[in-house]
Structure formats: structure tokens, C-alpha cells
Amino acid sequence: MNDRVETTTRADQTGDSLRDWFGFAEDLRLFRDFESPRDEEISRETPVKFSDGPVFITRGHADGGKTTIIVNTREKPVSQSELTFDEVVALAFENPPTGPYICFTIVYRNGPTSNPEGTMVEGGNPVKLQCGMIFNVTATDKS
């Protein structure tokens, strides 16, 4: 964990038990550290399977808890652990097109295990984020 080596004989760890074990502050976010930009956030109740990768990191204090995602080929650091449809559109367009017939389509991939890929719909549920997650947002004029 964050370059601190520990050994456990308990196979039934969760995000909460790892936080307690290492004495992490409440505002730190816990991630499984993969050798890629796709680190996976571990929520408090998530069971931790060491066979999925035994290295973990935290984010929160020094880096402001930012997760880097890619929106329309541009890296975007975000503080949230999930985003709504409108928030993704705002990240995609500095000045979004407007008009009575404009609609947006959002497709994503490289997401966490709970939502690895899919589409977002206006007014739908927010999508959980993961470092390296990719969003493609297009605007269409239906006229």
C-alpha cells in the first residue's frame, strides 16, 4: 500500500478493512494499482481479492483526489467518483451547441467492473468512474 509492504493471512478483506488496517483518513480514496492508467477504485464494502492484484494506492490529500478520464480524446482530471450525463457533456464541450433539436450521445468504455462499457442517457443514473475511462460525446442536430 503506497509502497508500504504488509502481509496478511486474511483472504476476506474489504475496502473498509484495508482502510482500518493502514489507518487511512476518511477523505482518502483507495484504488487497486494496476500497471496501467486504469486504476480501479475500491469502495468501503467492496470485497478485495488479492488474486486480482496485490498493490493498492490512495488518493486524496496531495493530488486533491483527482481521477483522470478521457473525454473526446482529451484528458480531464475530475474530483468526483461518478459523473452525470450533464457533467460529461460539460467536460466534452466548452460551449455546448444549443437549440431545440440538439441531442447528445455519450458512449463510454474502460470503466470499472460494475460498468465497464455502455451509454449514458439524459436524466439517467450517474456512471462510476475509473482512471483511464474513455468517454465519446457527440452532438447531433435532429432538424
pLDDT at 84: 96
Tell me the average pLDDT of the chain. Answer: 83
Side by side, the strands of the sheet bearing 134-141 are 74-78, 67-71, 134-141, 102-109, 118-120
Classify 72 as helix, strand or coil.
coil
Give the Cα separation of 91 and 76 in Å (integer).
7
* pLDDT 10s digits, 53-90: 677 777 764 455 678 889 999 999 888 889 999 999 99
Range 29-37 average pLDDT: 74
pLDDT classification of 109: cutoffs 50, 70, 90? very high
Higher pLDDT, 127 or 80: 127
pLDDT classification of 119: cutoffs 50, 70, 90? very high
Q: In the CATH scheme, what is the code of domain 67-141?
A: 3.10.20
Residue spans of the domains in the chain: they are 15-59, 67-141
Provide the whole-model pTM.
0.61
Give the Cα separation of 57 and 33 in Å (integer).
6
How would DSSP label each residue in 107-122? EEES--TT-SSEEE-T
Higher pLDDT, 118 or 33: 118
